[in-house]
Structure 1
Amino acid sequence: MFKHLLIAAVAAASICAVAETEKPNILFIFADDLSYETIGAFDILDIDTPHLDSLVEAGTTFTHAYNMGAYNGAVCVASRAMLNTGRFVWGTYQHDTGPKMKAEVEGGRMWSQLMNKAGYRTYMTGKWHVKAQPSDIFDVAANDRPGMPRDFWRQGSADGIKPKHYGYFRPVDEEDYKNGWKPWDTSNGGFWEGGKHWSEVVADDALDFIADAKEHEEPFFMYVAFNAAHDPRQAPKEYIDRYPLDRIKLPENFVPAYKYQDEIGCGKSLRDAALAPFPRTEFAVKVHRQEYFALITHMDDQIGRILQALEESGKADNTYIVFTADHGLAVGRHGLIGKQNMYDHSVRVPFMVVGPNIDKGTENTNPIYLQDIMPTSLELAGAPIPDYVEFKSLKALLEGKKAEHYDSIYGAYKNQQRMIQKGDWKYIAYPTCDGERLYNIKSDPFEMKDLSTNPEYAAKMKELRSGLLALSTDLNDPLDYNDPVTSWKKAAPSKSKKAAH
């Protein structure tokens, strides 16, 4: 009897040892244009996201995750290039051409390739928007999508956009909305192109990946990237109906126009800004937020399908799930619509981690960059982090072993905007027009009280200006603050050869 018990105990110990050394799976779920405030569990907005809420409850939320910036209007391009190469924004800028990205792929330096070298079977679906072919760097790639769905055109003209799109400069008023474009109209394509909503296609692909992973011994790395909640913000009508306009609260920091909108590149010539009419109206902003929330809730339901399939596969207990987004979105805050600004609604994103030995229902307030997930996944996989990867692993923070991560957070948009956030303070500079902003984000989380001209904060302004200049130097920012136009033109990387994708 004792002998049988001893054998059983040894066998159990062996199984535990195998389980402890088995490499974890990584499920990376990535949204587009998703502000940090759009998770219902955060209790900031009246929005339904039950499945994302479940990730908040089941894991650790990094409350202050940021995108470092962008060098063109498509902020997602820089964000995704940083994510997949591990380089900070200005190193990425120099590498973000077709030939140089091709060299990255050929050198096996992309995120998924590093995971593959660590023994992982890699999968990808959805929005890519990186100058490389997914099929060259993932074991399985399905339905890789462009930056956004193709738009639908009509003849005519409008300020900044010619010819005019159905989905732009709308709605002017209730009559215009009644007679105009509708987000549930499948006839105009967009997210409906191909016959099924793209968010549903991404979920379908993820379910196929999970089924395929069950047939392989290798651990899996899944890169599941939704185009939602990017415009055109199309969702089935039942999701729109869940958000009647009387449920939509006007943003606390709503204004009809942002003071520096033209000088900082957020005027009528910017595609994102042209989605709503100028000046912004309360009605137009509520409609855009209604459609934004509906698309997010629809995406949340697709994420619920993925989480259920993972649970049913038997692999959930050994899988790290990470959810974040490439950047946020204004959707009417500060008179802005897009993501090309340094306010928290546009640079800050949700960031949740669930998995083995991750504390449940906890918050980590350390400021991080969303791209930190790249080296984090490598460390979780037991793989080396290459020297060229500049972002930092979060593993120590997840284990409670490290109190600090970054001393300050940097932000940039082309040559027109710069930002430093340190402690409770955020300083924004507009180099091309000498504009400045100063906010205490602890006492003023919606950044409504600009303190830059208050003499009481002159010393703080000086401190943060100096901090921003030092950080710009450390990050090889090509901008000369004294000559932002000429220095920016000189900084552009060579694009003599056609981009790979």
Structure 2
Amino acid sequence: MNRLLFFLGFAALILTNISCKEKEKEVEKEKTPPNIVFIFADDQSYNTIKTLGNDEVHTPNLDKLANSGVAFTHTYNMGGWNGAICVASRAMLLTGQYIWNAHKADSLMRANSYQQPLWGNIMTNAGYNTYMTGKWHVTKPAEEVFENVVHVRPGMPNQTEEGYNRPLSETDTIWRPWDKSKNGFWKGGTHWSEVVADDASKFIADAIHKDNPFFMYLAFNAPHDPRQSPEKFVQMFPLDSIELPTTFLTEYPYNEEMGSGRKLRDERLAPFPRTEYSVKVNRQEYYAVIAHMDEQIGKILDALEASGEMENTYIVFTADHGLSVGQHGLLGKQNMYDHSVRTPLFVVGPNIPKNKKIDADVYLQDVMPTILELAGAEKPDFVQFKSLMPLIKGERSTNYESIYGCYTNTQRMVRTDGFKLIAYPNASKLRLFDLTNDPLEMNDLADDPKYASTKNTLWKELLSLQKTMNDPLNLEDFMFN
């Protein structure tokens, strides 16, 4: 009897120790700082995700992300100070500052006199093992911002003359997205999107053996032109399945005055006047390179799963801006329409609600302070953008009462209360859209007397935002209709 009691007591002690150790592991796991993976696309518009409403595209991995966390449906980029909108977008993202302050920061970087830490530096100082691969397009070298840097890419893959002003007709086959002889994304022998996935997967496999959590900045060049991908991805989108955009125009009426005319690089990709066939081909190639990038994102997600770190990792996905690809007679992103200034944005990870959509207007650069908060890093005073976490937690309903947009000195925009006002100073023209009833921005209400009060309210809000943004352009110097 005594032996039985002894063994029972001994077994109970062992079980108690095991239980305590398991609890210790759980507590320790809770204390472990999360890993963070930031995935950044280039030129990807908000309306290119299947699960968010576009049945033409093929994005199973982005769909998975969107359904695994929170999708922000109204995410904006402020614009740019030159034709390379990605420069301004990334400068804002890495400095955390609004566009015209980021422009000054970019100028100081060029003079090697910018003193504030950039996003990667802040994460390193917070104890993260930081990593970057892919597109950079920021003045300061990536090696000075992240600890681990591989395959830094330029602003865009090299484009050839054959890639412009095409296709001229259905017999124009001088360009094929899978033709590796044109270089572009194929330069070096392996598609650049595949290189990003391979780089990321290797880093994840190595990083799990380190003591510090990791922060990954994975910047795809896709789906920027030249929109190249393996042939099977192009064949996924037969031309007869590609719908012509509802907003199709042969040419935008104010393209020259607003700085998006026939000489702008992005706009030279397709012939003028626009043809239905050329727009469909460009959209086919756009969807194909997105589908190919989506497959690479799947590889990164698989690597996270294989590492055992997925449950302790936040994943944030967005793009630097959108793209027209034939909408409103435009090809590029140098305009204030939603297809060009609005991007997808997903936040996924521990304690993030699943399959939730938030319609509040936000800026894509809000991901910078969001990730600082998730990492437990202090937000510096100079960071102007706002964390998305209060919106995700339901602590507030909006980050901004109105959204500001700009392009050089030729365009200004404000979006608030379901309306958008666009100003073209060089054309002396205002355009007003009711976004609730006209989400594709096709019916200009600026000259409708019934909307005079709305136009005046938005005009005053735009002038107020200019002061907030330190905007150098004085709109009151111009006459508007």
TM-score range, shorter chain: over 0.9
Match of 2:169 among 163, 170, 173: 173
Structure 2 counterpart of 1:90: 100
Aligned length: 469
2:31 corresponds to: 21
Is structure 2 residue 74 aligned with structure 1 residue 64? yes
Q: Helix, strand or coil: the match of 2:475?
A: coil
Residue 234 of structure 1 and its aligned partner are, at CA, apart by 0.7
**SS at structure 2 position matched to 1:12:** helix
- The structure having more radius of gyration, on CA atoms, is 2
Please say if 1:228 is aligned against 2:222: yes
Which 10-residue stretch deviates more, 63-72 or 474-483? 474-483
Deviation string 1:355-400 (CA, Å, 9 cap, x unpaired) is 0000000001111100011111111111110000000011111222
Contact 2:428 2:478 in 1 (8 A): no
Displacement of 1:100 after TM fit?
5.2
Contact 2:59 2:290 in 1 (8 A): yes
C-alpha spacing 1:44/1:99, structure 2 compared with 1 (3 Å): closer
Taking the aligned partners of 2:452 and 2:13, their CA distance within structure 1 comes to 78
- Corresponding position of 1:239: 233
Per-residue CA shift, 1:405-432, capped at 9, x if unaligned?
Answer: 1111100001111111112111111122
The reply on whether 1:353 has 2:333 as its aligned counterpart is no
Deviates more, 1:91-100 or 1:340-349: 91-100
Q: Which residue of 1 aligns with 2:138?
A: 130
TM-score normalised per structure 2: 0.95
Superposition deviation, residue 314 in structure 1:
0.3
SS at 1:62's partner residue?
strand
- State the 1:435 CA deviation: 1.1
Pairing 1:295-314 to 2, within 5 Å after superposition = 295-314=289-308
Match of 1:457 in 2: 451
Among all aligned residue pairs of Structure 1 and Structure 2, give the percentage whose two residues are the same amino acid.
52
Match of 1:278 in 2: 272
Pairing 1:421-440 to 2, within 5 Å after superposition: 421-440=415-434
Task: Write the distance in 2 (CA, Å) between the matches of 1:231 and 1:138.
Answer: 27
- The SS at the match of 1:15 is helix
Instruction: Give the drift of 1:444.
Output: 1.1
The one-letter code sitting in structure 2 at the alignment partner of 1:64 is: H
Runs of 4+ residues deviating >6 angstroms = none
- Would you say 1:151 and 2:159 are equivalent positions? yes
- In structure 2, the gaps of 5 or more residues are 1-8
Give deviations 1:320-342, integer Å, cap 9, x for gaps.
Answer: 00110000000000000000000
**Residues 110, 140 of structure 2: 8 Å contact kept:** no
Give the match for residue 17 of structure 2. 7
| Structural RMSD (CA) | 1.4
User: 1:179-218 CA distances to partner (integer Å, 9 max, x unpaired)?
Assistant: x111111001111000011111111101111012112010
Deviation at 1:450, TM superposition (A): 1.1
Q: Which runs of 5+ in 1 are unaligned?
A: 153-164, 486-501
Residue matched to 2:464: 470
* 1:366 and 2:360 are equivalent in the alignment: yes
Relative to structure 1, is the Cα distance of residues 14 and 194 closer, same or farther in structure 2, using a 3 angstrom cutoff? same
For 2:164, the aligned partner's letter is Y
Candidates 439, 462, 465, aligned match of 1:445:
439
Deviation at 1:484, TM superposition (A): 6.7
SS of the aligned residue for 1:375 comes to helix
| Equivalent residue number for residue 395 of structure 1 | 389
Quickly say closer, same or farther: Cα 1:384–1:442, change in 2 above 3 A: same
Q: Out of 103, 117, 122, which is 2:125 matched to?
A: 117
Deviation at 1:403, TM superposition (A): 1.8
CA distance in structure 2 between the aligned counterparts of 1:319 and 1:68, rounded to whole angstroms: 29
- TM-score, with normalisation over the residues of structure 1? 0.91
Query: CA 1:144–1:484 in structure 2 vs 1: closer, same or farther (change >3 Å)?
Result: farther
SS in 2 for 1:403: coil
Q: Give the corresponding residue for 2:377.
A: 383
Counterparts of 1:196 and 1:99, CA distance in 2: 32
Letter in 1 for 2:227: R
Find the partner of 1:35 among 45, 48, 56.
Answer: 45
Tell me which amino acid in the other structure corresponds to 2:73: T
